Chains A and B, each alone.
Chain A
């Protein structure tokens, strides 16, 4: 039985499957692990011609990056802008999503269509007029300009994700609250909002990803005092003379840590969230 051809075949099958799974993991994760490795090497260890595969890790790159003001400043900007974007876009988007899910009103179709277009709009198409507008309004080079831009671009995501969750909240609960004398705002805050919490969490993480990972808006709308981490990192890429790989790797890793930690927390909803929206709606209908 143990040496039957069937067991050989399943053994071979498992070897193949796990082999390809491990290859897959290597292709998708090794580049990032290599970056982590670079961040833990000294300058001499990075620039050796057969690359070093085993070494005693050093934290000197992290110490250098964190003791220099530029990175911490950009990290703080990224943090402020991202946190504000998440708060403002939830504050604006979640009530709108609830209303769109629950009420029929004039202009509802128009909002649907606009959200669809907003999702498709390439950021570069509005960047120039936005730059002109913010310059005239005195908002250029401020974090506020970034928060406004990110909030607007994350609204389609926030509205569509939370709308789906509000649709899943049974209407009876709110009806019962109305009978008990609750106001519309009361029913929204006390009943619908707590029940849609997983959706709101997903929306928060996605708008966080959008703001934290964005480069194009920040590259145009900020200066060296208000720039975010991706912009600072992009300046490393341009300078061929002083390419400090250790610093690039260390700051890259520091930028990745928060998004990865937060996103793994909601990994179950992440993909459905990203693909939700006007697009999914078209499919469901």
Chain B
């Protein structure tokens, strides 16, 4: 056999004792030193088993390859009742499954609002009693139904959903329509203005968008996201460019399809820089779902929070959730709110980080670095550190400021355990008390135990 290292100049990667690296320096041998640290406590044995799984390397290549090749298209807008088969009293919610008893303030608030919106209760107190009794009520995780929802992520039968299809792998995913900022259902608010807005979205916005999409045909979200990244969005906390691009694409069709409502529909979308977030989330969901179910793969296919637990799902581990307590984000607060008003982390929007957007693409969005409480360099650091725990770089989603390097995509549970680096998550902050709404936005770290628990399960023969 020909051994390539015997020919040509030696160039060495050193990992471990510095004295051995220094010996190479004295010989003027070019080298790169690894800044090695011990793995997460208690992870060593499981790591050895997982890394020695003969399926791992090709399983991961297959799984992450599906995320990278997914071609999400916005194909329709439909009521949840019709798209997801939701019946009366059935609700989906963000994050891993949770009961009313364990639900946090904003999750309870959003469920109350959904009860009022569906006409299942006349007043908040009645809704709470019904939800607490559980009579005629079914709660389940959005993720179990090809769906994602931001913050509380509550989906009820009458809500209209964005439908995103993967033109490459054939999957479909759904996400609700974005309500805007301030007092909104997803942050746990359920006042009359919240319910009124939901009704308008069901009666006007949803049908208008559906008709417009039918006219202009499916919207290529892969291309749109790629462009938005180059215009300063990271697609989680900043969606200004993506929203603008989306409006540009659909505005003529909205005018043609719904001339009576076009102005109010476009005004509503234009007034909400986050309108695209939900479409981006469905795009991320359909891409991540394509990577599910590859035996032996240690790829994370979902990260989601319900306001109480932070959970992850892994390609090689079916639909099992691995959870830890949701942390309180560190960030900036609106008006007079402060950290004591903040609810623990909540929402399915971490599906954006799961496919390499959001916090992973921070370097693309220097305009929002203040959420990190820092400089543009911090955004670059956030993104570059995520290359350490991801399997690939996205071929289409690129970051101009990093020389058009692809975003770090495809979190590897094993790499998280080895490096101790946890995914960087950008997020909104919900008020702790039901009905408060949004109180801020910032960064949050997932609980390490979710990753070590998944690693243990992967290593379990």
Do A and B come together as binding partners? no
Where the two chains meet, the residues of B that have a C-beta atom closer than 8 Å to any C-beta of A are none
